[in-house]
Structure formats: structure tokens, C-alpha cells
């Protein structure tokens, strides 16, 4: 089970996550803060987390 959690307290809405993500249009929506739309398209490259300036993206994979 894949989960990507955005800490909305720390997100500054810069859009780096959406810009770097290869499947951005299907996964990310950034308004004031970043939201995940659909993780089925995520291939867990972790680029979004690496590009986040406030380290507010947490990627978790269980099982
Ligand atoms: S891990 Fe990769 S594919 Fe998944 S949301 Fe982040 S950048 Fe996109
Ligand atoms: S890169 Fe990080 S701070 Fe910037 S919009 Fe995405 S989650 Fe928010």
C-alpha cells in the first residue's frame, strides 16, 4: 500500500513536486498547498520528495 503524505503545515505551495513528477497531471494538484489526486500512476521515483524545499512530502510503502 503506497501513501504519499504532504504536511500541509509545512507546504509552501511552490509546485516543485508537480513540476518534477513524471506523471504530474494525474497525481498532483497544487493550489495553496499540494494535494495528491491519484496515486495509481505513481512509480515511487521519490523525485517529488527530493525536490521539496521544506521536506514536507513523506512517501510510505507498507507490505
Ligand atoms: S514518487 Fe515520483 S511518480 Fe510518485 S508522485 Fe513523486 S515524483 Fe511523482
Ligand atoms: S514541493 Fe513541497 S512545498 Fe512545494 S508544493 Fe510540493 S509539497 Fe509543497
> Is the model's pLDDT at 63 over the cut of 80?
no
pTM: 0.94
Q: Given a cut of 80, is residue 61 above it in pLDDT?
A: yes
Residue 6 burial class via C-beta count within 10 angstroms: exposed 0-12, middle 13-18, buried 19 and up: buried
By the 8 A CB rule, do 27 and 57 touch?
no
Q: 51 alpha carbon to ligand 1 midpoint, in Å?
A: 11
Domain containing 21 — which CATH number?
A: 3.30.70.20
The predicted pLDDT at position 49 comes to 98
pLDDT bin (cut points 50, 70, 90) of residue 60 is very high
pLDDT at 62: 82
**Residue position matching grid coordinates 512517501:** 59
Nearest CA to ligand 2 atom 3: 11
Number of domains the chain contains: 1
- Grid cell at residue 21: 513528477
Amino acid at each position: 500500500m503506497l501513501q504519499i503524505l504532504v504536511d500541509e503545515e509545512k507546504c509552501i505551495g511552490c509546485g516543485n513536486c508537480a513540476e518534477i513528477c513524471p506523471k504530474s497531471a494525474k497525481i498532483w494538484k497544487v493550489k495553496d498547498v499540494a494535494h495528491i489526486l491519484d496515486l495509481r500512476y505513481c512509480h515511487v521515483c521519490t523525485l517529488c520528495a527530493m525536490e521539496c524545499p521544506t521536506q514536507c512530502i513523506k512517501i510510505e510503502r507498507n507490505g
